[in-house]
Structure 1
Amino acid sequence: MNTPAPPAEGPELKRRLGVLDAVVIGLGSMIGAGVFAVLAPAAGAAGPGLLLGLALAAVVAYCNATSSARLAARYPASGGTYVYGRERLGDFWGYLAGWAFVVGKTASCAAMALTVGSYVWPGQAHAVAVATVVALTAVSYRGTQKSALLTRGIVAIVLAVLAAVVTACLAGGTADTARLDIGSDVTVGGVLQAAGLLFFAFAGYARIATLGEEVRDPARTIPRAIPIALGITLMVYAAVAVTVLAVLGPERLGHATAPLVDAVRAAGVPSLAPVVRVGAAVAALGSLLALILGVSRTTLAMARDRHLPHTLAAVHPRFHVPYRAVLAVGAIVAVLAATVDVRGTIGFSSFGVLAYYAIANAAAFTLTPAEGRPPRAVPVVGLIGCTALAFALPPTAAASGAVVLALGAAVHGLRKTINHR
């Protein structure tokens, strides 16, 4: 149990990504998903306690990131916690982590695609979403280097737009710091629920770990890239959350459909609104691209172990990518993007990702000092935090997430029973 997994059968992926590429992929996932999609529902849950929720989500994310980084350095193969859980805790827990990740993040892919559609052409959001999925699946099919280059450009644009939003809100002179005060209407349940929703936005560093087989010098690159990406994201989130909350106030922010657009208008800079809308669409593109990369790599790892159809384990001889897994993920997401509603998917995805990281923390707890074990408190706090935030989510999200996990466990048990006959 304390030795790295043996090399997988069949062709391996090519190690091309450096620290900067890995950081950019993580930033593209976290910043794109969070700033434009999560602040409003989180404010609706916590009110003026939004910043407390952000801080709590950051603490849990830090623990998860530290545990994941130590595990990824030890097991630098595609699949992330699917691999860590299998190697440290047993086949069932690895499978359950992979199941939670693939299901939850497939829903996230659809949500990000629909976000693009709602900003680019609201009247044809589903059609635009499907077209976006097809285009980014084609990019992913061509290889991670091209995907990393595209993501780097997307991140640069999004950071520029967010900097413009913060500057406009500060220069507008309409911010009221009294709105940041935490009053008696803040509840523990509301803060926990906000933290659970905000955690959806911090989960992008999983993409760095799931690309472990394509990273150069993973024992050095992954532990550096994950905390760098998380730290930059936290600074960006804090700056945007403070300024937008001060301009709009918790009640207006909680009901906003496009909070950053409302913020620049309230700050007296309505001409910036179209730029923010473009930035939101570009951010969602970055998130979707990174999500397709991550989900397809976990699908590859599960297919190699025959938890999913083994045909999905094929690696393209020219592009060195799991092309069948990429195409399968793209097809499923395209169907979802054509049929589902973007509302409600964030909570469902958060539940799955929190379950995924709970298993990662449990796996990290079993590492020995010689294997680079983190301080004991880190995986303990991470495990407790993930569990608490998962069940603090809106009841519908928590219930549906629990049902899907139970379904995954039942499928694993059925498969094991059939194989033993």
Structure 2
Amino acid sequence: MGETADSEDGRLGLFGAVSIAVGGMIGGGVFAVLGVVATIAGAASWLAFTLACLVSMCAAYSYLKLNAMGENRGGSVAQLEEYLDDATPAGMVGWTLLFGYVGAIAMYAYAFGSFAVALSPAGLKSAVPLGDALLRPAYSVLAVGVFVGLNVLGARATGTSEEVLVVVKVIVLLAFGLLGVWYGLNQNSIELGLAKIRQVTPIVMATAVSFVSFQGWQLLMYDQESIKNPEENLPRAIYSSIVVTILIDGLIAIVVTSLAAPEVIKAHPERALANAVEPIIGSIGFVIVSIAALFSTGSAINGTLFSAAHFAKGMIDDGLLPDETGRVEADGAPERTVLLLGGIAAVFTAYGSLDAITSFGSLAFMGVFGAMSALAFRERDHESINPIPPALGAVGCALFAVLLEVHLWRAERSTFWAVLGVAAVVVTLETLYFERESIVEGVDRAEAAVVPEEQ
């Protein structure tokens, strides 16, 4: 499939780049979001994942075309700065993206904690006050803390180890997926939800919720210098990773919704696959999937934290984040930045519900992907851009964002207010930082107008 990270110059080949992107997506799709999607769309969950992947493909097309046309190679912030020649919208999108990464880390940590609880001895669960209710957040926060420590120390999986981890995860998932299909066909229990396809609302809602799990490919935009022959391998890696993710998520979604009862999925949505395979090969299947989930979500926490910290470092260097958030002179990721991102993610994963975390992350990435698709559509006069994919990306993201809020308002009112509150805080912080000079000038004018009257 191409050269790997073992090439002479040490850069990632096509296979290594695909591995990084796939690893970031299947960890969230299968081990964190799948159960939440299944509770909404049921047997049609495979279609929800497919629609989200297709919209992500349109966003990826927009990113890649803008990247190839511009002078600055990079992701959302670099492209917005270049094409709009305005740091404010670029910075606000960058902040939104950072909070989206924090949400993704919290989501991976939530799933990690749940699987850790499932594998814990019964004696430990009974000995701990409140049992699972306390153990899950404790394991989740511990996982974030461990990977924060590793990133502070400068440790990160190499390209080769990442390839091995992803290959193992893909093999395990495909094996259980095919085994589940075989078992389901023998039991005459495979359900594709074809009758439910006519029920547009739950499928669209589930598509919106699943969006957070398809941000892994975007990490490659910030690692272009580490990819061998990026002009050729970057597009191939991104498109290939999205296709692989569609196939895996779709297969696993069919197996889970066919073999696991809805009440079982709803009880522990993050463990949906483990619960689905247990009837086939017994408790050993549950254990294998749970161990694979720990590795998958753990590596996703590590990789996302690493990339987010380096992304933030570039924003600090460009004046788009306060200098207090990290030192740009630091080798690798700034310690203060890693600690800040990890600390916020730890709070999210400890106190947030899985629904709230996934919904917030999905909204953040839909906002960013939609903005980039709109930017590519704005540049549609360029001969290399077909306006259809960017238009579909922009409209799809906007539509899904609105419908996700509608779904939360109708079905999960407390989650709606939690997500809205966090979003309001993020927008307020962005506005205060990027409009601080205008705000100060306005305050000064108001004071100058008031003081003479008082005198």
Which TM-score band applies after superposition, normalised by the shorter structure?
0.7 to 0.9
The partner residue of 1:280 within 285, 289, 293 is 293
Contact kept? 1:56, 1:195, Cα under 8 Å: yes
**Equivalent residue, structure 2, for 1:211:** 223
3-state SS of paired residue (1:180): coil
**Equivalent residue, structure 1, for 2:195:** 183
Contact kept? 1:101, 1:356, Cα under 8 Å: yes
Q: 5+ unaligned residues in a row in structure 1: which ranges?
A: 1-13
Contact kept? 2:190, 2:254, Cα under 8 Å: no
Which deviates more, 198-207 or 185-194? 185-194
Among all aligned residue pairs of Structure 1 and Structure 2, give the percentage whose two residues are the same amino acid: 24
**Equivalent residue, structure 1, for 2:125:** none
User: Separation in 1 of the partners of 2:314 and 2:114?
Assistant: 33
- Name the aligned partner's letter for residue 105 of structure 2: C
Q: Is structure 2 residue 350 aligned with structure 1 residue 329?
A: no
Change (3 A) 1:50 1:218: same
3-state SS of paired residue (1:179): coil
User: Separation in 2 of the partners of 1:410 and 1:162?
Assistant: 43
Q: CA deviation at 1:409?
A: 4.6
Contact kept? 1:179, 1:249, Cα under 8 Å: no
After superposition, the C-alpha distances for 1:377-397 in whole angstroms (9 at most, x for unaligned) are: 011000000111112212317
Q: CA deviation at 1:155?
A: 1.3
3-state SS of paired residue (2:195): coil
**Equivalent residue, structure 1, for 2:29:** 34
User: Separation in 1 of the partners of 2:250 and 2:426?
Assistant: 32
**Equivalent residue, structure 1, for 2:247:** 235
Q: CA deviation at 1:120?
A: 1.7
Contact kept? 2:181, 2:190, Cα under 8 Å: no
After superposition, the C-alpha distances for 1:27-83 in whole angstroms (9 at most, x for unaligned) are: 111000111111221122223332331221122011011112223345586862122
Q: CA deviation at 1:274?
A: 0.6
**Equivalent residue, structure 1, for 2:63:** 68
- Name the aligned partner's letter for residue 26 of structure 1: A
After superposition, the C-alpha distances for 1:100-137 in whole angstroms (9 at most, x for unaligned) are: 11112212212212321221236433333333223323
- Name the aligned partner's letter for residue 314 of structure 1: V
3-state SS of paired residue (1:285): helix
**Equivalent residue, structure 1, for 2:123:** none
User: Separation in 2 of the partners of 1:414 and 1:105?
Assistant: 24
Q: How many residues matched? A: 405
**Equivalent residue, structure 1, for 2:128:** none
**Equivalent residue, structure 1, for 2:272:** 259
Q: Is structure 2 residue 111 aligned with structure 1 residue 115?
A: yes
User: Separation in 2 of the partners of 1:78 and 1:334?
Assistant: 32
CA RMSD of aligned residues (A): 3.1
Q: CA deviation at 1:205?
A: 0.9
Which deviates more, 336-345 or 256-265? 336-345
Q: 5+ unaligned residues in a row in structure 2: which ranges?
A: 1-8, 119-131, 410-415, 445-455
After superposition, the C-alpha distances for 1:347-378 in whole angstroms (9 at most, x for unaligned) are: 111000100101111222244676x7431101
Which deviates more, 290-299 or 390-399? 390-399
User: Separation in 1 of the partners of 2:212 and 2:164?
Assistant: 23
Contact kept? 1:46, 1:190, Cα under 8 Å: yes
- Name the aligned partner's letter for residue 112 of structure 1: Y
3-state SS of paired residue (1:183): helix
**Equivalent residue, structure 2, for 1:57:** 52
Q: Is structure 2 residue 163 aligned with structure 1 residue 163?
A: no
Q: Is structure 2 residue 101 aligned with structure 1 residue 105?
A: yes
TM-score norm. by structure 2 comes to 0.79
Change (3 A) 1:128 1:202: same
The partner residue of 1:45 within 33, 40, 59 is 40
- Name the aligned partner's letter for residue 139 of structure 2: V
Change (3 A) 1:243 1:250: same
